[in-house]
Amino acid sequence: MKRAIILFITAIILCSFPSQLSALPEGAVARLGKGSVSEVAFSPDGSILAVASSIGVWLYDAHTYAEIGLMESNAWVASIAFSPDGSLLASGSWDNTIKLWDVKSRTNIATLEGHTSYVSPVAFSPDGSLLASGSYGEVKLWDVRSRTLVATLEVPYVNSVAFSPDGSLLASGSDDGTIILWDMKPYINFTEYNCDVNSDGVVNILDLVIVSKYIGKPASDNVKADVNKDGIIDILDLNIVSQHFGKSSP
Ligand SMILES: [Ca+2]
Ligand SMILES: [Ca+2]
């Protein structure tokens, strides 16, 4: 009889345990992911959820929660960031590199090498022109378009980096309990952009209106509205004009 009671209790425990594991926490709508997860990020338009994991970066449809695919990595991915227009995703890895991925095709289009320790935080500047990456003893700034190193800023081990909304400052947080604010103006080529789209001498609402009108069109439809000269008139051009709002045309 005693043995039967023990077996009965064991059966109850075995039956109830899996259901507790599979049950979602109260208020949760889905459980996603494979591999140990280090960071999650939504695309700027909210359509994709990216998950940095020990085997690469998983992409999920943020509306249906369906798996889109895996961008495989040989090294643990510690951090991820979408570019402001959502076309690129940067990942920082334990193999000391940063990878740039084309989100639509999920292909690796560039690998940035130069750090001598694993890369933890990555962040794009609001205009998408710069990428900041943190590692042991340094923050590196990369030109996104040419994929070249712009500067190395010496700082204790960096756990986090963030650009200010106007792109003029970069904050880095370190293991030693300090946060350093870096002036980004020397690294942003403001004169590269002609934000005075209608050439009336000032960057104002009229310039935003023109860029908005041609959003999604090729640069050939209005050469001046392609402010960053990347061949397409898009949200990046709007962002850049916004950042220079109220300034006189150089
Ligand atoms: Ca203007
Ligand atoms: Ca453009």
Are residues 180 and 198 part of one domain? no
Q: CA 103 to CA 87: how far, in whole Å?
A: 6
Output the pLDDT for position 13. 43
| Residue 22 CA to ligand 2 centre (angstroms) | 46
pLDDT > 60? residue 10: no
In a domain, 202, yes or no: yes
Output the pLDDT for position 5. 53
| Residue 227 CA to ligand 2 centre (angstroms) | 5
| Residue 139 CA to ligand 1 centre (angstroms) | 36
Rounded to an integer, the average pLDDT of 136-146 is 91
What CATH number does residue 41 fall under?
A: 2.130.10.10
Closest of 132, 136, 245 to residue 184, by C-alpha: 132
Domain count, the chain: 2
Tell me which residue range forms the domain holding 217.
Answer: 190-243
The confidence band for 1, taking pLDDT boundaries of 50, 70 and 90, is low
pLDDT > 80? residue 210: yes
Nearest ligand (C-alpha, residue 236) = 2
Q: What is the percent of the chain with per-residue pLDDT over 70, rounded to a whole number? A: 88
Residue 229: left (phi > 0), alpha (psi -120 to 50), or beta?
Answer: left
